[in-house]
């Protein structure tokens, strides 16, 4: 057990928000300690090894308009690790595959009538033209999408994706959440209208590790395998309990899921504050990763617009990043968001593959089990905050109920949705603000 120590700022959580905050503080010479419960840094960007290369447990990419993470990469001198490529996007609907990467593909999307294809194209343009997102807070995504594109466009294109992503809470999702998705994807296109995405060589965890190295070089401290069990005020300082010993700090930045923070502060925080931390609901995620000996398709991102299929998408990573990176293995992700109480969330890797394979073989009849060289299942309990109507009124403030306690979690990212780019933005923002106050 390590000896207790003191620091100016203690940060709970070693994901991109926590690391970005620590980076800003360490740059100003402020003593900072990051405490991460898991053995590895990066949060949802954790990785495993395939063919001698790190691969993200959960699929990741950036959009070309994700300026905050690109700026950080530039500061770390890692621009040569970024690959920007056009991607193939498709839709599986009524047992057929449709390419949907460019405006021309949209005009060929026969499940919709010609007039509905025009409505769909205009919908995305109108969505990108929304200036005042607050005007959308009173509408659900379903209501807004029907208004913009009509009932048929909603039923074919959007309803399956909403239900595939949010399951039993799909009807609660705010129009603001969907608006941001349309705006972000629409702004990450090349001159020909094709979608362009960015990937970090070595996986997103490589960026987290590079950032951690820089923090340590600047004098910051990072402890992995150190879960924080309680945060409490003691006089003018804060005390954090961990299995490896106690830590005292002048300031605390909590970056983990809000219900976890609620458990850490329950003994002293006002009941209404704890209730607010517990008010925002989260979906879990379970992700099956397949290592194949041959390609499954030519599509990178296949939206599954079939309500009978249990996954919202089939992401063939090696149609984006070369299979040679992973020793020739073809990498396929099958992702599902679901309540953590769902039986699928508790399945082991073999059970999950047995469950998923018949669905995949329906889509890809040539697929044989022998193609699968290895398979993995990864889980994330606090994966997706459910962005409801009037979400802005649900978000707790950055400043906690007592001086020196601060919140910076992915559930507070709004109107944007969670993501590495915004985690970096919010982490650096609170790091700079606190550094200026302590400077």
- DSSP per residue over 100-160, as a string? -SSHHHHHT-TTS-HHHHHHHHHHHHHHHT---GGGGTTSBHHHHHHHHH-HHHIIIIIHH
pLDDT computed for residue 64 by the predictor: 80
Q: Within this chain, do residues 274 and 406 fall inside the same structural domain, yes or no?
A: yes
**pLDDT for 191 beyond 60:** no
Q: Which of 33-47, 132-146, 271-285 has the lowest mean pLDDT?
A: 33-47
pLDDT computed for residue 266 by the predictor: 97
State the pLDDT confidence band at 1, using cuts at 50, 70 and 90. very low
The verdict on residue 147 lying in a domain is: yes
The verdict on residue 434 lying in a domain is: yes
Bridge partners, residue 253, by sequence: 11, 406
Q: Within this chain, do residues 212 and 274 fall inside the same structural domain, yes or no?
A: yes
Q: How many CB atoms lie within 10 A of CB 312?
A: 21
Q: Within this chain, do residues 117 and 159 fall inside the same structural domain, yes or no?
A: yes
Mean pLDDT along residues 170-183 = 90
Q: Within this chain, do residues 344 and 253 fall inside the same structural domain, yes or no?
A: no
pLDDT computed for residue 131 by the predictor: 84
Q: Within this chain, do residues 276 and 288 fall inside the same structural domain, yes or no?
A: no
State the pLDDT confidence band at 6, using cuts at 50, 70 and 90. confident
3-state secondary structure of 248: strand
pLDDT in tens, 55-87: 889 888 888 888 999 999 999 999 999 988 777
pLDDT computed for residue 9 by the predictor: 98
Mean pLDDT along residues 210-218 = 97
The verdict on residue 419 lying in a domain is: yes
Mean pLDDT along residues 159-181 = 90
Token pair 């949907």 in the structure block, residue: 100
pLDDT computed for residue 22 by the predictor: 98
Mean pLDDT along residues 393-410 = 96
The verdict on residue 212 lying in a domain is: yes
**pLDDT for 109 beyond 50:** yes
DSSP 359: H
Mean pLDDT is highest, among 33-42, 252-261, 294-303, for 252-261
State the pLDDT confidence band at 181, using cuts at 50, 70 and 90. confident
How many domains does the chain fold into?
3
Mean pLDDT along residues 312-316 = 91
State the pLDDT confidence band at 429, using cuts at 50, 70 and 90. very high
Does the pTM exceed 0.75?
yes
- The domain that holds 33 is classified in CATH as 3.50.50.60
**pLDDT for 3 beyond 50:** no
pLDDT computed for residue 188 by the predictor: 46
Whether the CB-CB separation of 21 and 255 falls below 8 Å is answered with yes
Q: How many CB atoms lie within 10 A of CB 346?
A: 12
**pLDDT for 186 beyond 60:** no
pLDDT computed for residue 192 by the predictor: 52
Strand residues in 245-316 grouped as ranges (E): 247-254, 282-292, 301-304, 313-316
Q: Within this chain, do residues 401 and 262 fall inside the same structural domain, yes or no?
A: yes
For residue 217, the enclosing domain spans: 5-60+203-281+387-438
The verdict on residue 351 lying in a domain is: yes
How many C-alpha atoms does 55 have within 13 Å on its Cβ side? 28
**pLDDT for 187 beyond 60:** no
Calpha distance 224→209 (Å, rounded): 12
Mean pLDDT along residues 128-144 = 91
Calpha distance 199→113 (Å, rounded): 36
The verdict on residue 195 lying in a domain is: no
State the pLDDT confidence band at 190, using cuts at 50, 70 and 90. very low
Mean pLDDT along residues 198-211 = 90
Q: Within this chain, do residues 366 and 321 fall inside the same structural domain, yes or no?
A: yes
How would you class 181 by CB atoms within 10 Å of its CB: exposed for 0-12, middle for 13-18, buried for 19 or more?
A: middle
Q: Which of 21-25, 44-48, 167-171 has the lowest mean pLDDT?
A: 44-48
pLDDT in tens, 324-372: 999 999 999 999 999 999 999 999 999 999 999 999 999 999 999 999 9
pLDDT computed for residue 4 by the predictor: 56
Calpha distance 265→80 (Å, rounded): 43
Q: Within this chain, do residues 112 and 143 fall inside the same structural domain, yes or no?
A: yes
More confident site: 259 or 419: 259
- The domain that holds 364 is classified in CATH as 3.90.660.20
Q: Within this chain, do residues 360 and 392 fall inside the same structural domain, yes or no?
A: no
Instruction: Output the six-digit token pair for 252.
Output: 């605390």
**pLDDT for 193 beyond 60:** no
pLDDT computed for residue 45 by the predictor: 81
Q: Within this chain, do residues 168 and 24 fall inside the same structural domain, yes or no?
A: no
State the pLDDT confidence band at 194, using cuts at 50, 70 and 90. low
More confident site: 406 or 419: 406
Q: Within this chain, do residues 270 and 396 fall inside the same structural domain, yes or no?
A: yes
The verdict on residue 255 lying in a domain is: yes
Calpha distance 338→352 (Å, rounded): 14
How far from each other are the two terminal CA atoms of the chain, in whole angstroms? 32
The verdict on residue 137 lying in a domain is: yes
Q: Within this chain, do residues 37 and 111 fall inside the same structural domain, yes or no?
A: no
């Amino acid at each position: 057990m390590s000896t207790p120590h003191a620091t100016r700022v203690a940060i709970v959580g070693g994901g991109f928000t926590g690391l970005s905050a620590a980076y800003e503080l360490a740059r100003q010479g402020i003593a900072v300690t990051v405490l991460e419960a898991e053995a590895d840094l990066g949060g949802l960007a954790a990785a495993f090894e395939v063919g001698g290369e790190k691969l993200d447990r959960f699929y990741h990419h950036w959009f070309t308009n994700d300026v905050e993470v690109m700026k950080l990469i530039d500061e770390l001198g890692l621009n040569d690790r970024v690959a920007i490529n056009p991607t193939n996007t498709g839709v599986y609907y009524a047992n057929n595959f449709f390419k949907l990467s460019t405006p021309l593909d949209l005009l060929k999307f026969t499940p919709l009538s010609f007039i509905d294809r025009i409505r769909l194209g205009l919908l995305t343009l109108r969505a990108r033209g929304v200036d005042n997102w607050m005007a959308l807070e009173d509408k659900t995504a379903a209501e807004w999408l029907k208004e913009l594109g009509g009932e048929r466009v909603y039923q074919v294109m959007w309803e399956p994706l909403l239900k595939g992503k949010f399951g039993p809470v799909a009807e609660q999702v705010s129009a603001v959440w969907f608006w941001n998705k349309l705006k972000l994807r629409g702004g990450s296109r090349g001159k020909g209208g094709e979608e362009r995405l960015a990937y970090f060589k070595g996986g997103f965890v490589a960026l987290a590790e590079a950032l951690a190295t820089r923090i340590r070089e600047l004098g910051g401290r990072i402890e992995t395998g150190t879960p924080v069990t309680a945060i409490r005020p003691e006089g003018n300082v804060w005390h954090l309990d961990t299995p490896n010993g106690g830590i005292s700090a002048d300031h605390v930045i909590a970056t983990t899921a809000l219900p976890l923070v609620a458990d850490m502060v329950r003994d002293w925080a006002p009941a209404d504050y704890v209730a607010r931390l517990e008010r925002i609901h989260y979906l879990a995620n379970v992700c099956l990763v397949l290592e194949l000996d041959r390609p499954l398709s030519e599509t990178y991102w296949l939206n599954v617009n079939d309500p009978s299929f249990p996954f919202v998408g089939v992401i063939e990573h090696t149609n984006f990043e070369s299979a040679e990176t992973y020793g020739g293995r073809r990498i396929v992700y099958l992702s599902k968001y679901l309540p953590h109480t769902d039986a699928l969330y508790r399945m082991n890797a073999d059970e999950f593959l047995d469950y998923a394979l018949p669905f995949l073989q329906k889509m890809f009849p040539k697929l044989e089990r022998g193609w699968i060289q290895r398979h993995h299942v990864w889980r994330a309990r606090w994966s997706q905050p459910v962005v409801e109507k009037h979400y802005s009124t649900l978000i707790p403030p950055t400043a906690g109920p007592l001086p020196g306690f601060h919140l910076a979690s992915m559930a507070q990212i709004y109107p944007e949705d969670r993501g590495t780019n915004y985690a970096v933005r919010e982490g650096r923002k609170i790091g700079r603000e606190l550094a200026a106050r302590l400077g």
